[in-house]
Structure 1
Amino acid sequence: MSHYFTNDNTEHDFGQIEFQRGNKTYRFITDRGVFSRERIDFGSKVLIDAVIEDWHGSENSVFIDMGAGYGPLGIIIGDALNMKPVMVEVNEDAIDICRKNADINGIRAEVLKRDVYDAESTYSDVDLYITNPPFRAGKPVVLSIIEDAADRLSAGGAFYMVVQKKQGMPSYKKAIDASFGNVESVANEKGYHVLKGVKNY
């Protein structure tokens, strides 16, 4: 069986889901092999609400959504904050439907494969970086995302990551503190913590 952080050639199994936030309905195409294809997962919901409530930066700027999947985080947060998401993925099928979902929801977005993103410095000095990381890909992958955020953010920029306590939250909290010199939990619902680090240098 393939995972959402890998690529394969098995047959597509497209579906559609809806997500209501406030008085707005978002629509998403999903497919086999992408994370949380039946509904937006609870951790992503907690992250969406936490970022929208906590972050107070400038509008009309770009932000990074690392491990975007089919795009719910970048699309919903981008819409709510009036910002352009740069959505980064390794799964080629997820990249295709992520682009379609941005169009469906009327969101101006950049969707990049991870190796293309890694090879250029265009998206540096951003104010906001979010992730619901692929924990099944292993701890080194998640730690590399934290390090990438510390590199890409501008001074005063904020990093948000959702993680369950059972997925190693205390360890990742220490890693964010090591990279940013600070860390706090800005939300905690049913064991899902949204950890925040602010780049102060």
Structure 2
Amino acid sequence: MPHYFTNDAHEHEYQTITYDMNNQSYMFTTDAGVFSRSGVDFGTNLLIETILGEQPVAENFIDMGSGYGVISIVLADQLKIRGTAVDVNINALELTNKNDKNNSITTMVRDDFNASKITTDLYVTNPPFRAGKPVVLEIIEDGFNRLNENGLFYMVVQKKQGMPSYKKAIDAKFGNVSVLAKSKGYYILSAKK
């Protein structure tokens, strides 16, 4: 699964998918080597639906592990706030830029995130679990460090991917954790800084 670890060169296999949320249709170009290229996965959809249902008060958000930009673009549009899409996969970031334009949305796209000092009101992630637990724990730590006071952390995780241990890790870092939604083995975890 090269999209979790490297920026390996590959033959492009572009395709266009659509995603509907709250009577709004979005078009996304995807490619080989990016997560969930044939359609928006169940966990991402549940995460978006849950956050939109919460209607958090915020000026900005970070989408960590943004892939081709579904979460970034939909939240920026539906919540009317600034988003920053972050991914280590250069192809994914190029697709996010393209998808921003296709959907007339503007998000900041970053690959040099560790060097930046960006802080945020919301930190959203569908993390790369296959990259290993240390990577996911680092994302939880990064979320805590980048959130403004009273900022909100949101993460989707499947029970089989270790939800109980990640829930414990979030609680240990933030001092609180909630299960906002669960469906088909997927959980939306949230914490407030």
- TM-score scaled by length of structure 1: 0.93
Aligned residues of 1:4 and 1:69 also touching (Cα < 8 A):
no
Unaligned runs of 5+ in 2: none
One-letter amino acid of the structure 2 residue matched with residue 70 of structure 1: Y
Secondary structure of 1:3 counterpart: helix
TM-superposed CA distance for 1:128, in Å, is 0.4
How do 1:34-183 and structure 2 match up within 5 A?
34-58=34-58, 61-113=59-111, 116-121=112-117, 123-124=118-119, 126-183=120-177
Name which of structure 1's ranges 1-10 and 104-113 shifts more when overlaid on structure 2. Answer: 1-10
Q: Which runs of 4+ in 1 moved over 6 A?
A: none
State the secondary structure of the residue aligned to 1:33: coil
Give the count of matched residue pairs: 193
* CA drift at 1:4: 4.3
Whole-Å separation in 1 of the counterparts to 2:52 and 2:172: 25
Match of 1:7 in 2: 7
State the 1:5 CA deviation.
4.0
| Residues in 1 aligned to 2:79 and 2:135: alpha-carbon distance in whole angstroms | 28
Stretches of structure 1 lacking an aligned partner (at least 5 in a row): none
CA contact (8 A) 1:5 1:134 kept: no
Structure 1 residues 5 and 46 mapped into 2: Cα distance closer, same or farther (>3 Å)? farther
Amino acid across the alignment from 2:182: N
CA contact under 8 A between 2:124 and 2:153: conserved in structure 1?
yes
Distance in 2 between residues matched to 1:5 and 1:184, nearest whole Å: 30
Q: How far did 1:62 drift?
A: 1.8
The Cα RMSD (Å) is: 1.0
Contact 1:164 1:192 in 2 (8 A): yes
Using the alignment, how far apart are the partners of 2:121 and 2:153 within structure 1? 9
The Cα shift of 1:56 comes to 2.3
Would you say the 8 A contact 2:28–2:99 is kept in 1?
yes
User: TM-score normalised to the size of structure 2?
Assistant: 0.97
Secondary structure, aligned partner of 1:87: strand
- Cα distance in 2 for residues equivalent to 1:197 and 1:57: 14
Q: Deviations over 1:152-198 (max 9, x none)?
A: 00110000000000000000000000110000100001110000010
Greater Cα shift, 165-174 or 46-55: 46-55
List per-residue Cα deviations over 1:68-91 (Å, max 9, x = no partner).
000001111111100111000000
